[in-house]
Structure 1
Amino acid sequence: MSRVSIFFYAAAFFAATALADVSYIHAGRVLADPANGRVLTNQTIVVRDGRVAELREGFVDGPGRVIDLRKKFVLPGLIDSHVHLCHENGPHDRMNRVTLTAADWAIQGARFAATTLRAGFTTVANLGDENDAIFALRDGIERGDVPGPRIIAAGHVLSPHGGDGDVHDYRPDVEVTIRRENLCSGADDCRRLVRNQIQRGADIIKIVATGSVLADVAQGVGLQFTDAELQAIVETAHGMGRRVTAHAHSTEGVNAALRAGVDSIEHGTFLDAESIELFKANGAYLVPTLLAGATVTEWANDPNGFLSAPARAKALDVGPKMLDAGRRAHAAGLKIAFGTDASVARHGTNAREFSLLVQAGLTPLQSIRAATVGAADHLGVSQRVGSLAPGKAADIVAVDGDPLTAIGELERIRFVMKGGVVYVDPRN
């Protein structure tokens, strides 16, 4: 299906659903609440005004639309806790930074948002894109202007001057032109930046506590913020009702961010025994992004790949270790939320993360929990999404087979409903 037809297909269903605000979904098998793991059979999910009204035993109908999923396995809409919808990494990254506008990024984001929704992900946390682009996309989706997942948006990532979120390896006059308002130095300056970002519309605060793999600079993946800066960021964000998540690879970066009180760690590649104790003491989540690790490893091993020399060296060091970090975290009983870092891996391939989580030791059910009830708790949206319970958003997906025995089924989504609106229908 072409990109244009995807949009009009979703728009047509939006219009049709608006006329019929009650739907009766006949579900052959349904995992309504992944927390308890019970698979119900022969159920009717009654959807009214975009929300789950009730689950009834047997196949019943009434005044409204009947959706036949009697031969499908039904579960709540999936949640990806780490995406970047406005771009995909590739060989043109450096040029794109100096040629594309916020409007260009938003248009790209609309395309990737539709792709992500059709893959079954009805809620995402977008952890780093240009402010105007991602906030406009978030709000446009919420209004129903364009199809896409529900977005919890960070906007700009917060970085120290010269850190991972700064601009590197351009002429100084070009760097000044494209540098974002996302940099701080010193505790007071970091407090100011958090306040400014929330004022601009951030739902969550994302910081780069350490260097990253794909930055075109040979500064490694070590700690970048001071303890005082980290503490100021977390205190300010929490005081204004926002969670804080930290990109962190190195042991010292992971542990410093956890000691400062961040709510979650993205990646966590070199976590150690102290990290595990800090995670547990804080009740923090790990978002292991195993798909990103697998992807950068593939890129680094491609002799014709596009990575710069510094990025390739870091990818070869970090990428292969991420699966083992996920394995150690799970074995230690840490809370894990599903997240892919999509934009590294292609948008729409998010569900590949499930198989990697299973390789890291999670059962298929545990991996589904990470992408439903776990991710909803991690992002503070459990009252709205994560399970099919009365009053929650009618975010519903379905597959042909049983993902509890074959987790790869989630890579082949056959039905997608978000907020009572159907975007993928097996009858078409």
Structure 2
Amino acid sequence: MTELYKWNRSTLADCMPELVATARGDLKASLAVINVKLVNVISGEILPGMSIAVQGSRIAYVGKDISHTIDENTVVVDAQGKYAAPGLLDGHCHIESTQLTVTEFAKAVLPLGTTGGFFDAHEISNVMGLKGLRFMLDEARTTPLAAYMQAPSCVPSTHPDIETTGAFIGPEEVAEALSWGPDMIGLGEVMNFPGVVYGDDKMIREIQETLRAGKYADGHFTWKSDDWRLPVYAASGISGDHECVTKEDVIERIRLGMYAKMRQGSAWHDVAETIKAHTEDGIDTRRMMLVTDDRSSESLLREGHINFVVRHAISQGVKPVTAFQMATINTAERFGVSRDIGSITPGSCADIILLDGNLADVDVVMTIAAGQVVAENGQMKMTWDGYRIPEEAFETVHIGRQLTEEDFNIVAPIAEGMVSATAIEVIENHVDTRERKVQVKVEDDHVNLENSDDLCKMAVFERHGLNGGQSIGILMGIGLQVPAAIAMTVAHDSHNLTVIGNDDVLMAKAGNLAAEMQGGVVMVTEGETTLFPLPVGGLMSPEPFETVAHQSEAISQALLRAGCSLNNVFMTLSLLSLVVIPEVRLSDKGLVRISADGIEIIPLFDAVGVNE
């Protein structure tokens, strides 16, 4: 049976007198956790036989004997020698990528030991602007999480000439968002890194507004780590970056004073390589962080959240206490909130997890958030008053017409024969793509991909009701073995309607179904239709966590039955329109190349075709 959660994350200044009184025993603790092996992430030690006294939402006393803080009204948790560690923190996460609302996300991750995080809500902001960010922040404030939000830096991710988004956020909007409270922690990942390096006024002013507010700017730099422009980027004040895929990426960022965020999402598996900066090169870990970035609901259900990432880092040779530091105190220090979260020390928020077995197993059996037991043995023990999502969030898909199979014709520059075209090649478990030249058959002025080796079509339709733009390209590496199509309104970061398939009729059907249900994912074959409704901004479902996870898994299974065996394929496909990650993507404006020279729209076909 769950209880109604009532809490108040009081500031240290407000509750300090009560903490001191509790520490000396004059006021008795509201909660005591006794007989623990304390994971001290400050000193890097495991301290046996320790206990923790809590007053309200914060820790009052940590020591061998806390009996002077306990009376008959104190709730006592006897850990019986289990490990006690600080609640885990995700240093870079897009909640929308889980397809869950903030409420359901909290219910999913709290039993896994996540008690807080730093969330960049630029997905919903690309759809709804500041209104979307505000409702995410307001909802987060109703949960037990220590949830810090970031003002989106790149809405759009680059420039309106490259893609169409549902909103625009500039320096004035960033300044407004950062004024909403201390839980607006800084500026979200600055994906327009060429704009920063070459002095784009919008990007420079957004960072200035962040620095003037005394807050933190996050990065997204995908040029190579030895590029001379990385120090230029760091000079802007951007002090953390999650686009690290090699150990050299980590080393160079740390040498420049940045925090290197090592990512293990659902479809991007970067920890094994990036952690070598420590395990092979011996780089100090103080500025290394473990993050998820994008993690699907089915991954949360099947594998976990930050607990999974910490366990994975340990399996790569990191000492357990060091791995916990990368997901607790390092993260808190990066964002300047280590006085509140990230450690089990007097004065800190009482965000504590108990772990059974070996510490390396990261087996979370109890989660305490802001001084109350919220989850035990994988189940939520408390609930809270629900948040009412604004009605306008359910009305964001505006295609304006029915799609037809003609929308998926690719008009060629020649009438008949073979022509050279640029294809987007998908790379399993990586965010980047490869630009490939392919020879495709042309009949009656149109490309015919029938019997083509592993090629299919990808189309993007502007869905915000602004200009009706659309484009079409060629995709490689999906592996469809039967006539099939998948349509989705989850398409980072502009989240236009994206349709991928090898059958024009099925592509039109899938696209229309996705629009009719106001967003989501639709997988269609000749004998099967699988729906995953995501009506909140076309990105999230209001359904319970388990329901969403099973619906997400149903899409994965439908793709597998159609021949697509890529790991977490839906999440991989959802990034194929993200025009800030190399090498080539497709937006509603056309085919986009991302290179060391910048970002540009390129033609689908080579200037000269090869007729045969």
Q: TM-score, normalization: structure 2? A: 0.49
- The answer to whether 1:286 aligns with 2:273 is no
Distance 1:115 1:157 in 2: 28
Report the CA distance between 1:140 and its aligned residue: 4.3
User: Residues 126 and 320 of structure 1: is their aligned pair in 2 closer, same or farther, counting only changes over 3 Å?
Assistant: closer
The equivalent position to 1:113 in structure 2, one of 99, 106, 109, is: 106
The equivalent position to 1:62 in structure 2, one of 59, 64, 71, is: 71
Summarize the alignment of residues 146-165 of structure 1 with structure 2, pairs less than 5 Å apart: 147-159=143-155, 162=158
Deviation per residue, 1:219-271 (Å, 9 max, x gap): xxx84644313544433311121100012333257554323221101122267
Summarize the alignment of residues 265-344 of structure 1 with structure 2, pairs less than 5 Å apart: 265-269=241-245, 272=248, 276-277=251-252, 279-281=254-256, 283-289=257-263, 291-292=264-265, 295-296=266-267, 319=268, 323-328=272-277, 331=281, 332-333=283-284, 335-344=287-296
Asked whether the equivalents of residues 197 and 233 of structure 2 are also in contact (C-alpha less than 8 Å), the reply is no
Higher strand proportion, which one? 2
User: Residues 385 and 320 of structure 1: is their aligned pair in 2 closer, same or farther, counting only changes over 3 Å?
Assistant: closer
Distance 2:44 2:253 in 1: 29
Secondary structure at the counterpart of residue 351 of structure 1 = helix
Length, aligned pairs only? 336
The equivalent position to 1:227 in structure 2, one of 198, 212, 233, is: 198
Summarize the alignment of residues 357-396 of structure 1 with structure 2, pairs less than 5 Å apart: 357-396=313-352
The equivalent position to 2:33 in structure 1, one of 18, 21, 25, is: 25
- The answer to whether 1:122 aligns with 2:115 is yes
Distance 1:200 1:23 in 2: 32
Distance 1:137 1:234 in 2: 22
Distance 2:5 2:253 in 1: 47
Secondary structure at the counterpart of residue 135 of structure 2 = helix
Asked whether the equivalents of residues 76 and 386 of structure 1 are also in contact (C-alpha less than 8 Å), the reply is yes
Summarize the alignment of residues 68-79 of structure 1 with structure 2, pairs less than 5 Å apart: 68-79=78-89
Higher helix proportion, which one? 1
The equivalent position to 2:237 in structure 1, one of 261, 273, 284, is: 261
Summarize the alignment of residues 66-215 of structure 1 with structure 2, pairs less than 5 Å apart: 66-88=76-98, 108-129=101-122, 130=124, 131-142=130-141, 145=142, 147-159=143-155, 162=158, 168=163, 175=164, 179-182=166-169, 191-199=171-179, 202-209=184-191
Asked whether the equivalents of residues 261 and 288 of structure 2 are also in contact (C-alpha less than 8 Å), the reply is yes
Deviation per residue, 1:259-297 (Å, 9 max, x gap): 322110112226748x7455324x2101111x12xx32x
Secondary structure at the counterpart of residue 338 of structure 1 = strand
Asked whether the equivalents of residues 259 and 288 of structure 2 are also in contact (C-alpha less than 8 Å), the reply is yes
Asked whether the equivalents of residues 247 and 267 of structure 1 are also in contact (C-alpha less than 8 Å), the reply is yes
Asked whether the equivalents of residues 218 and 240 of structure 2 are also in contact (C-alpha less than 8 Å), the reply is yes
User: Residues 196 and 65 of structure 1: is their aligned pair in 2 closer, same or farther, counting only changes over 3 Å?
Assistant: closer
Asked whether the equivalents of residues 34 and 51 of structure 2 are also in contact (C-alpha less than 8 Å), the reply is yes
Distance 2:353 2:55 in 1: 17
Distance 1:225 1:159 in 2: 15
What RMSD over aligned residues (CA atoms) do the two structures have, in Å? Answer: 3.3
Percent identity, aligned pairs only? 16
Asked whether the equivalents of residues 185 and 215 of structure 2 are also in contact (C-alpha less than 8 Å), the reply is yes
Report the counterpart of residue 480 of structure 2 in structure 1.
none
Distance 2:305 2:97 in 1: 14
- Of structures 1 and 2, the one with the larger relative CO (CA 8 A, separation 6+) is 1
Gaps of 5+ in 1: 1-7, 90-104, 169-174, 183-189, 211-221, 297-318
Secondary structure at the counterpart of residue 211 of structure 2 = helix
User: Residues 158 and 394 of structure 1: is their aligned pair in 2 closer, same or farther, counting only changes over 3 Å?
Assistant: same
* Higher radius of gyration, 1 or 2: 2
Secondary structure at the counterpart of residue 248 of structure 1 = coil
The equivalent position to 2:4 in structure 1, one of 12, 17, 20, is: 12
The equivalent position to 1:37 in structure 2, one of 44, 50, 56, is: 44
Report the counterpart of residue 354 of structure 1 in structure 2.
310
Deviation per residue, 1:155-200 (Å, 9 max, x gap): 434256645x9985xxxxxx4xx52223xxxxxxx54453244246
Report the counterpart of residue 248 of structure 1 in structure 2.
221
Report the counterpart of residue 316 of structure 1 in structure 2.
none
Distance 1:228 1:343 in 2: 33
Asked whether the equivalents of residues 97 and 296 of structure 2 are also in contact (C-alpha less than 8 Å), the reply is no
User: Residues 161 and 324 of structure 1: is their aligned pair in 2 closer, same or farther, counting only changes over 3 Å?
Assistant: closer
Distance 1:263 1:418 in 2: 28
Report the counterpart of residue 187 of structure 1 in structure 2.
none
Deviation per residue, 1:302-327 (Å, 9 max, x gap): xxxxxxxxxxxxxxxxx466632342
Secondary structure at the counterpart of residue 53 of structure 1 = strand
Asked whether the equivalents of residues 340 and 353 of structure 1 are also in contact (C-alpha less than 8 Å), the reply is yes
